[in-house]
Structure 1
Amino acid sequence: MVENRAELRAGNGRLLDVQDGSIVNLWVDDSELRGNLVADESSALNVTLRNGAQLTGGLINVNTFTLSSGARWNYVGGNDIREVHLDDGVVAFSDGTHQVLSVGSLSGSGVFGMRINLDNGTGDLLSVNGEATGRYRLRVQNTGLEAVPAEFDPLRVVHTESGDAEFGLVGGRADLGVYSYGLERQGTDWFIVGEGKEISPSTQSALALFNTAPTVWNSELTTLRSRMGEVRGQAQGGGWMRTYGSRFNASLDSGVDYSQKQQGLSFGADAPVPVGNGQLLLGLMGGYSKSDLDIGRGTSGEVDSYYVGAYGTWLSEGGYYVDGVLKLNQFHNESKVAMSDGTKAKGDYSSKAVGGSLEVGKHITLSDAYFVEPFAQVSSVWIDGSSYTLDNGMQARTRQTQSVLGKVGSTVGRSFAMKDGGVVKPYARLALAQEFSRSNDVSVNGQRFDNDLFGSRAELGAGVSVSLSEHLQVHADFDYMKGEHVEQPWGANVGLRLAF
């Protein structure tokens, strides 16, 4: 019995050498052995590792070998084992050249850690020359590096002569670069196959992160649009602040789905500018937002956005108006990947964006203090090309991300005068929008993916503006949007304005 966290290391390669017809039952409990365990043809050696015990070395002419309670065998080659039994044990093939582990029979349940290379069709192999029973998982070493050709033959990773043993992959898939691959049973053997491959979590993370900037930018723009609606036609300038939040659910043509939660703060100040016809208000603004991405199965992302901009709104005496915005952004993007085998990977990059918006419409006053504002808007943003490398070796890049969004709609509302002189103005808004950009290609390990949100969408909104005094105004706005590739279940912003 070896126990109590003992560490034994062989000086000549052999940690135990059983000879001359001896029978040895070796128990290793919560301890570590390094070296080979050997018995001659006339002897019998039975080895049991349990409670996290570890063995690094070969097993020669071993009768029975048992791994239980988290025990681990680091297989380095050279073995002759008649019976192997796992009870929550782990067998890990060593790094270096691919190896074959041959055993007489296999029973129980546990994990086999393996490495494969589909590029040259090689990999570790578990070969059971007799009966195999029980349930096992294969932990195929996941990687972001691309080592898989476009076409490859199924790679055998398990061979059994007989029995009803079941094998599966840890996490259900093996991530090998851009795609994740499955395990398929063929007779009594098990193969890694290319049929039914899926985009790997690392690839999903890259595609989602590159696609996030336009929705972040447009969500920030929405708060400014609400601001200009408040001050349009005002003779006074002022300072203002808004806090906002939203959620987006995106479904890309590449097959990637993710959700995005955004929250942020915008602030600014503006002043009236004398013009010959109508009223003009010009202002400067800035802000920050943070977006959290949930890509599923433990994979996530974060986008920190810092922005500054200028805006202006002009209202004619006849009720026509023009709103314009120019906005500059600095994004810091970070992805955190949970690969199929549970291995973690991460990467980050920064990007810049410039964009603008132009809206035209008309404020029409109706009877009983009702009003309607039909409008048309076009906005566009360009995000510079970026590239980054995950620490699992995956490389992703995009030359440029662009969004060109056209929108037509109308706002309907009514003004209510309060006894104290204030004004309450509730309103509702309906709009139809079209995303025109179709050129947001992303390259992952040299493979191209379409990564845009092209398509139409419908938007609904409601809000209220309350003038508490001549100098103080508060505002709340709520939005819903549904499109072909993107949905915003909710969006909200609240703020205040202090007139000077």
Structure 2
Amino acid sequence: MAAAQPLVFDAELDTVRERLGSVKGVNYDTAMWSSAINTRNNVTTDAGAGFEQTLTGLTLGIDSRFSREESSTIRGLFFGYSHSDIGFDRGGKGNVDSYTLGAYAGWEHQNGAYVDGVVKVDRFANTIHGKMSNGATAFGDYNSNGAGAHVESGFRWVDGLWSVRPYLAFTGFTTDGQDYTLSNGMRADVGNTRILRAEAGTAVSYHMDLQNGTTLEPWLKAAVRQEYADSNQVKVNDDGKFNNDVAGTRGVYQAGIRSSFTPTLSGHLSVSYGNGAGVESPWNTQAGVVWTF
């Protein structure tokens, strides 16, 4: 169950990253936005305790843009909720309800250089309905907290209607350690579950102005992620500790479209696929709207 929490953090973080990516080179004063997500993860851990996770959530945010002589900044706040249904490969199921709150900021120079940052905290409510090797069932629940940060820096080149944005990013996340006991007496001592990740990627987009006054901007993005945290440990009863991490290299491939419907209302839709480091994500979809004023 503990291995699902970094995946929840990541899915929620992606909604804020999409928001920061969408405002590059855009002039506005203040905006409110929302983004709905649906994600599937098929996970294999070193301990053999694999699971399938289906996450659905919603993030709401507000931000303002401040222009300077040669650059601009944005500052924003967001909160959200997500629910994960988890099926364990060894039998049984579980749920994770996540409540998240955070802040973000971005700086962009007129020459195309930019830096984005996100800080985020989570409250996880975890429920477990496990199935033992003898066929018996056991249940339990526990709460945990998480906190993380994300920094991204890159350069946006614009050539006519095309733009190319290579970037580097770093993400860190940790939960607090928790102990819990199932109804059959089985005890679990969950240590801090962490993310320590580097990422390199490139996004390409094409801007189109339509005759009815709306705009379309299809985009593609590809990234390589390297996860370094490799000692996320769980101890069950007195059977020793086992690793619960998904360290390694992972590829992520995304496609999406942004559109303005009116001068103050716009929307976006995206889908992605990821694989590597013990996690296959057959889909990660986002759909959202933005209202500027």
The TM-score normalised by the length of structure 1 is 0.57
Determine if contact 1:233/1:279 at 8 Å carries over to the other structure.
Answer: no
Deviation at 1:297, TM superposition (A): 5.3
Find the counterpart in structure 2 of residue 453 from structure 1.
246
Cα distance in 1, alignment partners of residues 176 and 68 from structure 2: 37
Q: How does 1:16-95 map to 2 (within 5 A)?
A: none
Find the counterpart in structure 2 of residue 350 from structure 1.
143
Cα distance in 1, alignment partners of residues 121 and 224 from structure 2: 26
Question: Which of 211, 226, 234 matches 1:419?
Answer: 211
Determine if contact 2:49/2:89 at 8 Å carries over to the other structure.
Answer: no
Q: Does residue 400 of structure 1 match 2:192?
A: yes
Deviation at 1:344, TM superposition (A): 1.8
Output the amino acid matched with 1:317: Q
Query: Equivalent residue of 1:244, what SS?
Result: strand
C-alpha RMSD over aligned residues? 1.2
Find the counterpart in structure 2 of residue 306 from structure 1.
99
Cα distance in 1, alignment partners of residues 136 and 45 from structure 2: 25
Q: Does residue 439 of structure 1 match 2:231?
A: yes
Output the amino acid matched with 1:313: G
Q: Does residue 329 of structure 1 match 2:158?
A: no
Q: How does 1:228-377 map to 2 (within 5 A)?
A: 228-236=20-28, 237-296=30-89, 298-367=91-160, 369-377=161-169
Q: Does residue 483 of structure 1 match 2:276?
A: yes
Output the amino acid matched with 2:216: V
The TM-score normalised by the length of structure 2 is 0.96
Output the amino acid matched with 2:154: G
Cα distance in 2, alignment partners of residues 249 and 437 from structure 1: 19
Paired residues, what number?
A: 291
Deviation at 1:276, TM superposition (A): 5.0
Output the amino acid matched with 1:429: K
Deviation at 1:304, TM superposition (A): 0.4
Deviation at 1:318, TM superposition (A): 0.2
425-434 or 227-236, which moves further after superposition?
A: 227-236
Q: Hey, which bits of structure 1, 4+ residues long, moved more than 4 A? A: none
Deviation at 1:274, TM superposition (A): 4.4
Which consecutive residues of structure 2, in runs of 5 or more, have no partner in the other structure? none
Deviation at 1:481, TM superposition (A): 0.2
Percentage of matched positions with identical amino acids: 34
Cα distance in 1, alignment partners of residues 90 and 46 from structure 2: 20
Cα distance in 2, alignment partners of residues 395 and 339 from structure 1: 13
CA spacing shift, 1:354–1:297, aligned 2, 3 Å: closer
Deviation at 1:467, TM superposition (A): 1.0
Output the amino acid matched with 1:396: A
Larger Rg: 1
Deviation at 1:341, TM superposition (A): 3.7
Determine if contact 1:244/1:263 at 8 Å carries over to the other structure.
Answer: yes
Determine if contact 2:155/2:167 at 8 Å carries over to the other structure.
Answer: yes
Cα distance in 2, alignment partners of residues 316 and 292 from structure 1: 42
Cα distance in 1, alignment partners of residues 229 and 90 from structure 2: 30
Question: Which of 243, 249, 257 matches 1:464?
Answer: 257
Which consecutive residues of structure 1, in runs of 5 or more, have no partner in the other structure? 1-208
Cα distance in 2, alignment partners of residues 297 and 430 from structure 1: 33
Q: Does residue 430 of structure 1 match 2:214?
A: no
